[in-house]
């Protein structure tokens, strides 16, 4: 970890080139799997599922009302985030662990070890 006053990169290009020199293309995608694990369930279906379920309970004469659509969308987003939040917590834990000396472990190994150390006995 670097001190806040210590400049690690001079800019985006410098950051890109240093990561690429250090770990090639693989280094640029380090940590993408945990991010996708957290985003996929939310983006791929939960939000849309909840939205469609809520719309199905709205009376026909109110289906085009912008306020009803806004409320349905807001609640759908809230429910989607509620169900995927634990995945985000795991992703944050992985991000902290990746900074340790073992950055090349598969994501599922890191998740399992994180769960083993974080879960109360």
Separation of alpha carbons 121 and 113, rounded Å: 14
- pLDDT for the residue numbered 56: 92
Separation of alpha carbons 47 and 83, rounded Å: 10
SS3 15: helix
C-alpha distance from residue 50 to each of 24, 26, 39, 56, 66 (Å): 41, 36, 16, 10, 17
Our measurement of the distance from residue 66's CA atom to the centroid of its chain's CA atoms, rounded to an integer in Å, reads: 29
User: Tens digit of pLDDT for each residue in 4-20?
Assistant: 556 677 888 888 888 88
Percent share of the chain, pLDDT over 90: 15
Separation of alpha carbons 47 and 32, rounded Å: 22
Count of CB atoms situated within 10 Å of the CB of 32: 10
User: Tens digit of pLDDT for each residue in 86-116?
Assistant: 777 776 766 666 555 555 666 667 667 666 6
């Amino acid at each position: 970890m670097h001190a806040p006053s210590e400049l690690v990169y001079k800019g985006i290009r410098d950051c890109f080139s240093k990561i690429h020199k250090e770990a090639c293309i693989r280094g640029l995608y380090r940590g993408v799997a945990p991010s996708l694990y957290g985003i996929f369930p939310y983006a791929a279906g939960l939000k849309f599922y909840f939205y469609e379920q809520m719309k199905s309970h709205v009376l026909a004469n109110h289906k085009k009302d912008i306020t009803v659509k806004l409320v349905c969308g807001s609640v759908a987003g809230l429910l989607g985030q509620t169900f995927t939040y634990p995945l985000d917590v795991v992703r944050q834990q992985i991000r902290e662990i990746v900074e340790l000396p073992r950055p090349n472990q598969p994501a599922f190994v890191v998740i399992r070890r994180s769960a083993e150390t974080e879960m109360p006995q």
